[in-house]
């Protein structure tokens, strides 16, 4: 019985790791779609997102099965609960990547990112992909130390966002549509980073070193 449970728990973890990988790939492609103004890449992100949502649903189902089948001991219970929340975070991250891709599609052929703020957006994309990779590592290796490193990278993202908004305010050449797009774009990247940090914190919770709740609050 315990052996079957362990096998199912291992499968649960594998699915989470696959979702984390898919989420990182989605952000990588979405940022490429944005910077290359590529409809094909954008469409790829949207298509992949449907699969990630499906995977997220299967993880949720698996968690319910695990909880229902056998009284999980304390450590297993934490793993399952943390996994459920990570699954929600990762799905949300995939949705945010999809929002970036959809912005590209909506404005095409006009690029979303004017050349004047391209470097800010390149930096935000790089931090987002790095954070997604760190979240994936945390999920895969169950490495607790990742949380601290991720929080630092999240601060970098906040600074980049502040700088992007300041550029918009100081430099008066922008029309409202560009300002709206860049505000939303910045917000998508910022939220993505928050959720990545949250994933790492939940790994720490599962290991017993954090409070249960670590949902992004900003």
For a second copy, the binding residues in 52-71 under the rule CB under 8 A are 53, 56-57, 60-61, 64, 67-68, 71
Give least dist CB 101 to a second copy, A. 14
Does position 210 interact with a second copy (CB under 8 A)? The reply is no
Compute how many residues bind a second copy; rule: CB under 8 A. Answer: 40
The CB-of-54 to a second copy minimum distance in angstroms stands at 10
Residue 212 near a second copy by CB under 8 A = yes
Residue 95 touches a second copy, criterion: CB under 8 A: yes
Rounded to whole angstroms, the Cα distance separating 70 from 141 reads 25
Q: Which residues bind a second copy (CB under 8 A)?
A: 53, 56-57, 60-61, 64, 67-68, 71-72, 74, 77-78, 81, 84-85, 88, 91-92, 95, 165, 168-169, 171-172, 174-177, 179-180, 183-184, 187, 211-213, 215, 217-218
């Amino acid at each position: 019985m315990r052996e079957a449970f362990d096998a199912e728990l291992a499968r649960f973890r594998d699915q989470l790791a696959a979702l984390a990988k898919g989420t990182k790939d989605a952000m990588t492609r979405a940022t490429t779609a944005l910077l290359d103004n590529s409809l094909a890449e954008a469409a790829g992100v949207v298509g992949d997102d449907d699969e990630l949502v499906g995977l997220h649903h299967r993880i949720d189902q698996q968690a319910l099965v695990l909880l229902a089948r056998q009284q999980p001991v304390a450590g297993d219970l934490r793993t399952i609960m943390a996994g459920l929340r990570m699954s929600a975070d990762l799905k949300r991250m995939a949705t945010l990547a999809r929002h970036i891709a959809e912005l590209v599609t909506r404005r095409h052929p006009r690029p979303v990112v004017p050349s004047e703020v391209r470097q800010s957006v390149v930096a935000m994309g790089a931090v987002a992909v790095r954070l997604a990779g760190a979240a994936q590592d945390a999920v895969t290796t169950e490495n607790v130390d990742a949380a601290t490193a991720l929080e630092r990278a999240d601060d970098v993202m906040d600074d980049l966002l502040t700088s992007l908004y300041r550029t918009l305010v100081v430099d008066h050449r922008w029309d409202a549509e560009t300002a709206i797009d860049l505000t939303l774009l910045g917000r998508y990247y910022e939220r993505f980073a928050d959720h990545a940090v949250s994933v790492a914190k939940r790994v720490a919770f599962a290991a017993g070193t954090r409070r249960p709740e670590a949902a992004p609050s900003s």
